[in-house]
């Protein structure tokens, strides 16, 4: 399959898809940190959505959408940042790809667009942490937990301010990336 993994500089999901033999590309305006620049399209994703893909997995920025930043919503509405982020999210929701997944934390899109199809946690996929993550799915099944582990650390939520805080908080957990690839594009995947 030809798969676009949008807004993914870490290449976590892209590498798992490639491991399974798919033609997968990460895309972000940032350079990739996953070690495979030859598989990274460093550009605005808008034009890439006009190309035919077999699957699109999108991780749109959540800074202006997540409830964790609700205290800043009034200013973000006034200056247009929130509306711009809503429109960017909806670009993926409305793309013509038959298999689409959009990932974002709990936020305003549940009311603006629709409730997510699924909310997952890292501890369901081998990581003893909490980070409620919403998935909006089209043509794809819900992810099945594959490695439920003890521990409910809030490492991401407790992370102190810093230069790389946003980038670190947005990284996809390896267990979740592997589950996405195997359950949505593996040999036993089903829609």
Listed range (37-51, 81-95, 155-169) with the worst mean pLDDT: 155-169
Cα radius of gyration (the chain): 16
Listed range (29-33, 80-84, 93-97, 170-174) with the worst mean pLDDT: 170-174
In sequence order, what are the beta bridge partners of 136?
102
Predicted confidence band of residue 167 (pLDDT cuts 50, 70, 90): low
Question: What is the average pLDDT value for the chain, to the nearest integer?
Answer: 91
What's the length of the chain?
191
Domain that holds residue 113: 2-185
- Using alpha carbons, select from 77, 17, 29, 80 the residue that is nearest to residue 53: 17
In a domain, 73, yes or no: yes
- pLDDT higher than threshold 60 for residue 159: no
Residue 14 CA to residue 25 CA, distance in Å, equals 6
* Mean pLDDT (whole number) for 165-171: 61
What confidence tens digit (pLDDT) does each residue in 101-118 have? 999 999 999 999 999 999
What pLDDT is recorded for position 157? 58
Predicted confidence band of residue 21 (pLDDT cuts 50, 70, 90): very high
In a domain, 191, yes or no: no
Task: Quickly tell me which residue has 């972000």 as its tokens.
Answer: 28
* Mean pLDDT (whole number) for 169-186: 92
CATH of the domain at 167: 3.40.50.150
In a domain, 190, yes or no: no
Structural domain count, the chain? 1
What confidence tens digit (pLDDT) does each residue in 51-61 have? 999 999 999 99
The 100-105 sheet, strands edge to edge? 40-42, 23-28, 2-6, 55-58, 100-105, 133-138, 118-120
In a domain, 181, yes or no: yes
Nearest 5°: the CA angle 131, 132, 136 is 135
For residue 111, the tally of other CB atoms under 10 A from its CB is 8
In a domain, 90, yes or no: yes
Asked whether the whole model's pTM tops 0.75, one would answer yes
Query: In what helix (H) or strand (E) does residue 89 lie, and over which residues does it extend?
Result: helix 81-93
In a domain, 85, yes or no: yes
């Amino acid at each position: 399959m030809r798969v676009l993994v949008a807004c993914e500089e870490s290449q976590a999901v892209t590498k798992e898809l490639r491991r399974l033999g798919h033609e997968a590309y990460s895309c972000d305006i940032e350079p990739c940190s996953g070690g495979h620049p030859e598989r990274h399209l460093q550009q605005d994703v808008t034009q890439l959505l006009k190309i035919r893909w077999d699957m699109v997995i999108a991780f749109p920025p959540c800074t202006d959408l997540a409830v964790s930043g609700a205290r800043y919503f009034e200013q973000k509405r006034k200056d247009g940042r929130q509306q711009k982020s809503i429109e960017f999210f909806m670009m993926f929701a409305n793309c013509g790809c038959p298999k689409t997944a959009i990932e974002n934390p709990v936020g305003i899109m549940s009311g603006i667009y629709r409730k997510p199809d699924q909310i997952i946690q890292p501890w369901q996929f081998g990581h003893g942490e909490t980070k409620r993550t919403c998935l909006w799915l089209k043509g794809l099944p819900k992810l099945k937990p594959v490695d439920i582990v003890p521990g409910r650390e809030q490492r991401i939520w407790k992370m102190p301010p810093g230069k790389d805080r946003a980038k670190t908080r947005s990284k996809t957990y390896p267990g979740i990336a592997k589950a996405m690839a195997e359950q949505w594009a593996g040999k036993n995947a089903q829609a």
